[in-house]
Amino acid sequence: MGRFVTRRDNLKLSPALELAYGDKINTVPAEVAGTKVREVIRIDGTKLLLEDGSWLLFRKSGTEPVVRLYAEASTEARLTQVMEAGRRFILG
């Protein structure tokens, strides 16, 4: 199956970003970090499965203005690309 690396990051939302989060997460991108989104799973957050086997999960905190961003990829370099794309999607 190979090696996978994972990471988690907390993205603090401004009041404006928190207000816009619902609309944003309901219109997920067709690709992340140059790779097509193969499937979207909306159980316990929004998980984007990518064609290269990487994935990205967005989970909004119910108690604070934070989105928890989780990702998995086959290399550290790829993981950094996926995490950065997720960060830009939420905060950008």
Q: Can you give the pLDDT at residue 2?
A: 73
Q: With bands split at pLDDT 50, 70 and 90, how would you rate the model's confidence at 11?
A: very high
Half-sphere CA count of 91, side-chain side, radius 13 A:
17
Q: With bands split at pLDDT 50, 70 and 90, how would you rate the model's confidence at 30?
A: very high
**Domain layout of the chain by residue ranges:** 5-91
Residue 41's φ and ψ, nearest 5 degrees, are -115, 125
Q: With bands split at pLDDT 50, 70 and 90, how would you rate the model's confidence at 1?
A: low
CATH among 3.30.310.50, 3.30.360.10, 3.30.465.10, 3.40.1190.20 for 5-91: 3.30.310.50
Over the chain, what is the mean pLDDT? 95
Q: How far apart are the first and last CA of the chain?
A: 34
pTM of this structure: 0.93
Task: Return the biggest CA–CA distance within the chain.
Answer: 42
Rounded to an integer, what distance in angstroms lies between the CA atom of residue 56 and that of residue 60? Answer: 13
